[in-house]
Amino acid sequence: MLEPRFFYGALYLFVICWSLEAPMAESGIGVNWGTISSHRLRPTTVVDLLRENKIQKVKLFEAEPDVMRALMGSGIQVMVGIPNEMLSVLSSSPSAADLWVRQNVSSYIGKGGADIRYVAVGNEPFLSTYNGQFQNLVMPAVLNVQQSLVKANLAGYVKIVVPCNADAYESASLPSQGAFRPELTQIITQLVQFLNSNGSPFVVNIYPFLSLYDNGDFPQDYAFFEGTTHSVTDGSNVYTNAFDGNYDTLVAALSKLGYGQMPIVIGEIGWPSDGAIGANITAARVFNQGLIRHIMSNKGTPLRPNSPPVDVYIFSLLDEGAKSTLPGNFERHWGIFSFDGQAKYLLNLGFGNKQLKNAKNVQYLPSRWCVADPLSDLTNVVNHMKLACSVADCTTLNYGGSCNEIGAKGNISYAFNSYYQLQMQDSRSCDFDGLGMVTFLDPSIGDCHFLVGVTDKDSDSSASETAKHCWFLLLLLFLHGTFWLSI
C-alpha cells in the first residue's frame, strides 16, 4: 500500500507538471462604455449588445445607477470609475469614501449582482494639462477608498487602480530610457507601492492616434501594426509600432522604481472613425484589428516578451455625441459602434464571432429628417446653423469629417437635422424662421449619414436616477464641509 506522503508527493508533482504544460493565460479584451451621448441607448440594450458580442470586460467612468443595474447578473467583469471632481471630498473624508463604496459597490455586488473587479480612483489625474490640480489628492483618496473596501469585506476581490495617461512618463528618445515625469516620481512611487502590495495592476491609456494627430512629423505607418519603414532600434531591440515603444517606455519607467515586473492593464486604446484627417472607418478598422491580433498573439513586447498586458480595454464601445471637442472633433467618434449600437466596420474581437453584431430592439424615432427648404432664401442662415451646432453634434462637417464635402446647402440641412433629432423631432425645432422643412426622404449623401434619433422609454426613470446621483454628490459635499460645486 502506498504511503500517504508518497501519494501527496506524486499529486504535488502532477500539479507542477500540469501547470508547466498548461497554456499561458491570454490577455482579456474589454471595452470602455462612456455615456456622454445626445442619443442614449437604454443600458439594458447596451448590456445585451456586450453579451451578443461576447465581451466579458467593461470599463465605466462613473457608477450610474441604471448602468450598474443593467450589468447585474450579466457575468460581465466591471471596472467602475470615480470622476476626478470627486477626489477632493474622498481624499479628506473617510465617511464620504464609506458612503461612495456603500452606494456604488456594495449595493450592486454579490450573488446575482454586478461583477465589480476594479474601482478606478480618478481618470488620468496626473495629466500634464491639469497642472497638478489633482496630483496631491490621489493617494489620500486611494487610501480612504481602500479602507472603505476593507470595512465592507470587499478588498480581497475588488482592486483599486488609477488610470494614467501615457504622458505620466517620458523618454529622451528610446523606450529603455523611459522614466516618470520628475514632478511625479514621488507620487507614482507611492502609488506603485500601494498597487503592488494590494495585487493591483498599473493602468495606462495609450493613444498612437494622438501621437500622429499632435505631431506632423510622426511616421504614419509606425502608428499601426502592419509593419513600418520607420522602425526604432534600441540596443538589440527593434520597435515596429508605436504601441510597443510606448508600452516599453512605461516598463522601463517602472523598472527604475524597482517594479519592472508589475502587471499592466491598457485602460484605453483605440482609433476614431471621423472628425479629423486620419480619423476614418478604414484606419479605425485597421488599427483596432491589428491591435487585437497583436495582443492575442501573446508575443508581448521587446522588454516583456511573451508577456502581453493583463487586459486591454478598447476605446470605445459607442460614439458619444455630447463629449467635449476641446481635444478635437474626433472625440465624439471613437466607438466601434455608432451611437445606436450599429457596427461601423468588420472587426473580429477574437471571441468566436468573426464580425461585430448590431444592437437589437433599438427604439428609433420615426424615419423623417429636417432639411433646408430649397425654396427659401438662405442668406441669413448662419446664426441658425451656429445655434443648431452649439447644441447638437456637427463635428462631421468639419475639415477631415465624413460630411465635409456635401456643399453649403448640405451643411445647413445636416445642422438642422442634428438639432431636430436632438429635440426628439419636435416640429417646432425644424422651423428656423421658416428656413427648415421636414422630409420623409433620407437626405444622406455617400458616406455622410443623416441620423435618426433613438428614444429611451426609460427616460423618466433615468432622470430620476440622475436626480439621485445629484443628491448624492451634494451629500458628499456636505460631509466634506464645502458648499461649492465645480462644473
End-to-end alpha carbon distance in the chain? 76
Is residue 119 within 8 Å of residue 158, measured between CB atoms? yes
* Rounded-to-integer distance, Cα 205 and Cα 183, Å: 19
Residue 267 to residue 225: CA distance in whole angstroms:
19
CB 318 within 8 A of CB 335: yes
Which cell numbers hold the place of 324?
467635449
Catalytic, out of 62, 268, 320, 331? 268
Active site residue 62: no
Q: Which helix (H) or strand (E) holds 31?
A: strand 28-33
Q: Is 124 a catalytic residue?
A: yes
User: Cα–Cα distance between 237 and 338 in angstroms, integer?
Assistant: 39
Active-site entry in 21, 26, 52, 124: 124
Whether omega for the bond prior to residue 93 falls within 30 degrees of 0, making it cis, is no
Residues 177, 179, 181, 182, CA torsion sign: negative
Beta carbons of 98 and 151 less than 8 angstroms apart: yes
**Cα 72 off chain centre by:** 20
Strand ranges for 235-375 from DSSP E: 237-239, 264-269, 300-301, 304-305, 311-314, 369-372
**Where in 71-135 does DSSP place strands (E)?**
77-82, 115-121
Do the Cβ atoms of 245 and 225 come closer than 8 Å? no
Residue 276 is given by DSSP the state B
**Which residues are catalytic, by number?**
124, 268
